[in-house]
Amino acid sequence: MVTTVKKFILNKNSKKKLFTPGPASLLFENISSIEPCFGRGDSSYQKIENNVLNKLKRISGHNKIARMQGAASFALEIMINNFVYGKLLIIKTGIYSDRLFTMSIASKSNFKKIKKIDYIDYKNIENIFNKYDWVMGCPVETSVGLKIPISKFNKLKKRCKAKLALDATASIGLENDHDCADVLGYSSCKGLFGLTGAAFVAFNSSPNNKINQFNLNIHNHLEKKMTGPYHSICSLNDVLKNHSDFKYAVVANKRFFLKKMQRYLSYSISEQPNLCTLIDKKIIKKDKKTILYQSRADISGSVVCHLGEVHLKRKAKGKIINFIKIKE
């Protein structure tokens, strides 16, 4: 049975070559731990969920976590509405920081906890010294292939005497220092390598904001008052046992790509996320089974993502690059 499933997955992965930011290539481990399940009275599933959530807390360095059905955007809305208040600084990096800004404006209007919002470009991050209640941003901005090291956000947080909220969607599992944040929002795919459908908010201190909208109130998710992302959580169980092997494949792909495309890089090495790379040339595919990332941002080059060989684990060499080329 195991051999049959592995052959099935190998066949599926052979039909698509992914250069997209998540979900990654299909994994045997995504399937091996899925079972019929229910959120109440199912001790087998509850053991899986507890195991997964405990591992996620160790990955991020937080002692509390809420899980919910939905994309990372839903987790980020919950994060902003339940935690963020007062004077807020958002660091502008691209499309996904724009989304944080839009969500924060809506929260300010709807729930009145946020009083003022400043939206400042990341290039000015070293020049910010004003006091804020919260600093927020995206350490990895997939839309433009940019990394702002979380250590920089942490220094900013300290200068501003603020708390730190991060969109960790594209950084969790792949980058370091998430424990510097007071609260994170992210999803089950990308650097965690699970199936889509689960979203998470990780934190240490419980939120103070009182939210009277059922779906946006984090306590309703913590108390499991609605159906959870059961199968998505199951898909993480076996993956997280060997997470370092899957991360190895991403890093190997990234290194090989940097070596091959060094002269086209748009950012310095310190600004390079493991997930993806922005180059100043257009990439085109060599055959129809190649799936390229279509960035939501208006960029002149291409963002190439490095999850397409995750299923190869430590055998990944980055050779998937042979399915794409620079447009002449």
Residue range of the domain that includes 63: 29-241
Q: Residue 264: which of 204, 186, 321, 209 has the closest Cα? A: 321
Looking at the structure of the chain, the number of domains it has is 2
Q: Are 154 and 177 in contact (CB under 8 A)?
A: yes
Domain co-membership, 212 together with 71 = yes
Given this model, what pLDDT does residue 1 score? 72
Given this model, what pLDDT does residue 185 score? 98
In this prediction, the residues of the chain whose per-residue pLDDT falls under 70 are: none
Which tokens belong to 283? 């990439």
How do strand 302-305 and strand 276-279 relate by DSSP bridges? antiparallel
Domain co-membership, 262 together with 208 = no
Q: With respect to residue 235, please indicate whether it lies within any of the assigned structural domains.
A: yes
pLDDT digits (tens, 9 = 90+) for 244-286: 999 999 999 999 999 999 999 999 999 999 999 999 999 999 9
Domain co-membership, 154 together with 289 = no
| Domain harbouring 199, CATH code | 3.40.640.10
187's CB contacts (< 8 A; 6+ apart) are: 22, 71, 72, 75, 169, 196, 198, 199, 200
**Cα angle value 318/320/326 (rounded, 5°):** 105
Please give the torsion angle defined by the CA atoms of residues 308, 191, 147 and 119, in that order, rounded to the nearest 10 degrees: 120
Given this model, what pLDDT does residue 2 score? 82
Distances (CA, A) of 114 to 77, 125, 241, 286: 13, 21, 39, 49
Phi-psi region of 70 (alpha: psi -120 to 50; beta: other; left: phi over 0): left
pLDDT digits (tens, 9 = 90+) for 128-157: 999 999 999 999 999 999 999 999 999 999
Distances (CA, A) of 223 to 186, 201, 204, 229, 326: 19, 14, 17, 14, 51
Distances (CA, A) of 2 to 10, 33, 199, 312: 12, 12, 29, 17
Q: With respect to residue 250, please indicate whether it lies within any of the assigned structural domains.
A: yes
| Domain harbouring 258, CATH code | 3.90.1150
Question: Residue 90, Cα to own-chain centre: how many angstroms?
Answer: 18
Given this model, what pLDDT does residue 96 score? 98
User: What DSSP designation does 165 have?
Assistant: E
Point out the domain boundary residue: 218, 241, 264.
241
Q: Residue 295: which of 285, 304, 306 has the closest Cα? A: 304
**Cα angle value 206/210/213 (rounded, 5°):** 115
